Structure 1
Amino acid sequence: MENLTYNSIILQLEGLKVSEEFLYPVFLFFLIFYIIVMVMNCGMVFLIAGQKSLHEPMYLLFCNLTFNDIFGNSITVPRLLLDLLRLPSERTISYAECAVQAFSTHTYATTSHTILMTMAFDRYVAICNPLRYTTIMSNKMVITLSASAWGVALFFVAILLGLTLRLNRCRTFISNPFCDNASMFKLSCEDVSVNNLYGLIFTVLLMVSSMGSVALTYIKITAVCLTTKSKTLNSRAIKTCSTHLTVYLIMLLSGFAIVILHRFPAYSDYRKLAALLFHIIPSSLNPVIYGLQCTELRHALMQILCIKKINQRKMFPN
């Protein structure tokens, strides 16, 4: 299926391999999950924005995660749904659109780590320095942490894709449901050792800094809880930190599944499916986990629902 057209501006996507009998069930599966992701994450953003009681660092930093989930899924899932309904020969994409999709996909994955790192720092300050929390986690600090989470991701991903875009292409087939950096530099017949090296260094640094900072944060939080022996502090730590840690572990395990499956070419179809699930599963679970665990979010949601019920009764009295 490879076409040796030199530097072709039109590429062909492999898409998701689905037998005809499972085509529409798979389409409905991804469509339903996409709708769930968008409704729940958009709802969470509006809830936090509309309730002044939720204008706190923890929830404002969480908004970065919801924005990232909306952004990451909007780049990949709608295109995937369209390609599922097309014949394999009609699944084409321009090189420019492919580059944008690859940049967005890697930005989404990288920012998922950097945002959760900033949220871990927020939890550390809240538990270990509660008296100085409002001083340290000022509006300026929240803006700085948010800008850093996005800025670091955009900077390193820009270099990652820049190294790929410099290459000439002699192939046109993307062996993936969507464009990513590895799929794009495999289109080249040039030496891609620099791309492989930078990609490896980038991945290792991201994972080490992510896991290291989160682990260090929770070790310090655990140490504080053990030394103070305060039931109130321990209860608060468990309630707030378990939410963040659950979200982080879901994201981390989803990412590791893709990395591990990369080592087994025979399971390439499972790797592609895992890459898609990396987008929709954490994104759909994040609002649920935070909504169930955070008392303030539950109270704000219940307050809105109660107000709506009261207004409906006034409009439609028995």
Structure 2
Amino acid sequence: MKVAEKNVSHVTSFVLLGFTARSDILLLLFIMFLVIYVLTIFGNSVILHVIYHSSQLHRPMYYFLGNLALLDIIYCTVISPRMLATFLVKDKSITLVSCVLQMFLFLALISSESILLALMAYDRYLAVCRPLRYQSIMTGTFCLRLVATAYCWGLVQSFFHTCFTFTLKFCKSDIDYFFCDIPPLLKLSCSDTFINELVLFTFCGVNEGGSALVVVVSYILIVSSILRIRSDKGRRRTASTCVSHFLVFTLYYGSLFFIYLKPRWRRSVDVDRVASVVYAVAIPMLNPIIYSLRNTEIRLSFLKIFRAAFNRS
């Protein structure tokens, strides 16, 4: 063991083994995930463009949605290009510096997105349950501070996770995963990872657990308020603004809890890999689809911008 620790103290790279060793399906996987990545960038860029150029969407709800689209663009870009490369090249290595940077950025972004989803639920709660006070509470300055807090907390949490992970000694360099994440790296360590597991569980419990609690409580209050609306049309219109967000919340938090709040001895690489594809690859693509399909204002604004651009051409 001492020899192994001495060798790994000078490790300068890891090897991302990716999804499978079967060479016959690598091209198919590359095409599939490339299409997903392109759709993710396109869909979220459209959401940003529509919100920015539509004055009627310059409201807190869409300000948060725009930030969600921006985070999705960045964090899928942190993961997808490197993942796509593993399907085509024989050299699947990633330098230590690149691995550290990838983990730091990814954890910062998903932590910020967790808080942002909670802020979106809080915004819907105020709009539905406290409509008379909504404008006075959700001012532009207050929304800016909330989003800045989400970003700052994401950076702080990621800093601690990254530092604790890369102070470990690693006995192996082959990461049986498609990006540098905490669970697969802990499996490579020959150090005691109890503190790392404790830090991971604590931070995820506070961040994801606290954010999920805000979302759940907000929607319990929203549902109770909707049930008091006498008009069926009013109930449907109010509920339609919340359904898409709750669907995104369920997919996102479900996959995060499944991966990060399990003890090490109950982890399965194959199962974790599938779950990580959901929150790291699939959800960023699905977010603009879910929000645009369920939101009439976004659809109408998009059609208005599209017609104006078509008429100019």
TM superposition score normalised by structure 1:
0.89
Aligned to 1:274: 275
AA aligned opposite 1:39: F
Alignment of 1:122 with 2:123, yes or no, is yes
Q: Does structure 1 residue 67 correspond to structure 2 residue 67?
A: no
Question: Are the counterparts in 2 of residues 6 and 171 from structure 1 also a CA contact under 8 Å?
Answer: no
Q: 2: distance between equivalents of 1:211 and 1:97?
A: 31
Letter in 2 for 1:20: S
Please tell me whether the aligned partners of residues 184 and 269 of structure 2 are also in contact (alpha carbons under 8 angstroms): no
Amino-acid identity (%): 28
Task: Measure the CA separation in 1 of the matches of 2:94 and 2:176.
Answer: 13
| Matches of 1:56 and 1:174, distance apart in 2 | 44
What is the CA–CA distance in structure 1 between the aligned matches of 2:120 and 2:199, rounded to whole Å? 27
Partner of 1:94: 95
Cα distance, 1:9 vs. partner?
1.4
Going from structure 1 to structure 2, the CA distance change for 1:308 and 1:261 (only over 3 Å counts) comes to: farther
Matches of 1:15 and 1:232 in 2, distance apart?
A: 49
Q: Are 2:242 and 1:241 equivalent residues in the alignment?
A: yes
SS state at 1:93 partner: strand
Q: What residue in structure 2 maps to residue 38 of structure 1?
A: 41
Corresponding residue SS for 2:35: helix
CA shift digits 1:269-305 (9 cap, x unpaired): 2422331232221111111111122121111111112
- 189 and 270 in structure 1: CA distance in 2 versus 1, 3 angstrom threshold: closer
SS of the residue 1:179 aligns to: coil
1:161 aligns with 2:162: yes
Query: Cα distance 1:261–1:305, how it changes in 2: closer, same or farther (>3 A)?
Result: farther
Structure 2: 5+ residue stretches without partners: none
Task: Quote the Cα distance in structure 1 between the aligned partners of 2:282 and 2:257.
Answer: 14
Amino acid paired to 1:36? L
Partners in 2 of 1:204 and 1:257 — Cα distance? Answer: 12
Q: Tell me the CA shift for residue 262 of structure 1.
A: 7.2
Summarize the alignment of residues 196-235 of structure 1 with structure 2, pairs less than 5 Å apart. 196-229=197-230, 231=232, 233-235=234-236
- Measured after TM superposition, the shift of residue 95 of structure 1 is 0.8
- The 1-side partners of 2:134 and 2:265 are apart by 44
Q: 1:293 & 1:170 partners in 2: Cα distance?
A: 49
* Deviations, residues 97-143 of structure 1 (Å, cap 9, x unaligned): 10111112222322221110000010011011112211111001110
Q: Deviations over 1:63-107 (max 9, x none)?
A: 1111111111101110011111122xx211111110111112222
1:84 aligns with 2:87: yes
Deviations 1:16-45 (A, max 9, x none): 214122111111000000000001111111
CA contact (8 A) 2:103 2:181 kept: yes
State the AA in 2 paired with 1:46. H
Written as runs of structure 1 = structure 2, the 5 A alignment for 1:4-43 is: 4-43=7-46
Q: Secondary structure at the match of 1:100?
A: helix
Aligned residue for 1:8, secondary structure, equals coil
Single out whichever of 194-203 and 157-166 deviates more from structure 2: 157-166
Quote the Cα distance in structure 2 between the aligned partners of 1:44 and 1:181: 31
Name the stretch that deviates more: 18-27 or 255-264.
255-264
The 5-angstrom pairing of residues 133-148 of structure 1 reads 133-148=134-149
Contact 2:108–2:154 at 8 Å: present in 1 too? yes
2:77 maps to amino acid: S
Kindly indicate whether the alpha-carbon contact (under 8 Å) linking 2:175 and 2:184 is maintained by their aligned counterparts in 1: yes
Contact 2:168 2:189 in 1 (8 A): yes
Give the aligned length: 308
CA contact (8 A) 2:111 2:208 kept: no
Contact 1:261 1:271 in 2 (8 A): no
Change (3 A) 1:249 1:33: same
Following the alignment from structure 1 to structure 2, what is the Cα–Cα distance between the partners of residues 169 and 264? 21
**How big is the alpha-carbon RMSD for the aligned residues of Structure 1 and Structure 2?**
2.3
Distance 1:221 1:273, change over 3 A: closer
C-alpha distance in 2, partners of 1:134/1:223?
A: 22
- Give, as a single letter, the amino acid of the residue that structure 1 aligns with 2:209: V
Equivalent residue number for residue 189 of structure 1: 190
| Structure 2 residue matching 1:225: 3-state secondary structure | helix
Deviation at 1:191, TM superposition (A): 2.4
| Residue aligning to 2:50 | 47
The answer on whether the counterparts of 2:226 and 2:239 sit within 8 Å (CA) in structure 1 is: no
Q: Give the letter aligned to residue 111 of structure 2.
A: T
